[in-house]
Amino acid sequence: MTTCEWAYPLNAERGAPAYTGFIGTKTMKPVSVQIITYAPTIFYHCQHCELKFQEMGIGERLRRREAAEALPEDLAYEFQSVSDWVHGLLQRHGRRLRVDVLDAASIRGFLTSIRHRVGRYPAVIVDGRDKRIGLDFAALDPLIDRKVAAAVASQTVPASH
């Protein structure tokens, strides 16, 4: 096999590794992190009213007020903790993570809770297998770091020809 052949996708439609333009590497599958928690819900007005609110300069104020009042104080604190943790994860790992925050009160959040047998929130599911419940996100950091390191390590393909 010549060096050029490594630069093109090989059998990607059959699930074989897709190779990037860099010799000796393949595309990394990001580590999946699903977070089920109560999230603020904001309802919008019709498009006509929204446009008028923006023109009058009160649209942004309405959004901020609705977001602030969307959750009780304890759930708002939990959501802020989740948000801060997710921002830290994304700063550390960037595109190596796929983070999905699900509202526990949504249909998707409800179905995901049933699938993973979660009854309390916030719940974090890493790669569809490892599940943790509660606000102790520091305990999850080593698990996610290990998963990302393993994914990065498995990404490199020996460049032997």
Inter-helix orientation angle 140-155/73-93, to 10° = 30
State the chain's mean pLDDT as an integer. Answer: 79
pLDDT, tens digit, for every residue of 10-39?
A: 333 444 444 444 455 567 789 999 999 998
Contacts 24+ apart (CB under 8 A), 109-112: 109/36, 112/34, 112/36
> Greater confidence, 107 or 23?
107
> Greater confidence, 19 or 78?
78
Q: Is the pLDDT of residue 70 over 90?
A: no
User: Is residue 159 a contact partner of residue 19, using CB atoms and an 8 Å limit?
Assistant: no
Helices (H), the chain: 47-56, 59-69, 73-93, 107-115, 140-155
| Pair of tokens at residue 140 | 């999850």
**Confidence category of residue 45, pLDDT binned at 50, 70, 90:** confident
| Pair of tokens at residue 144 | 């996610």
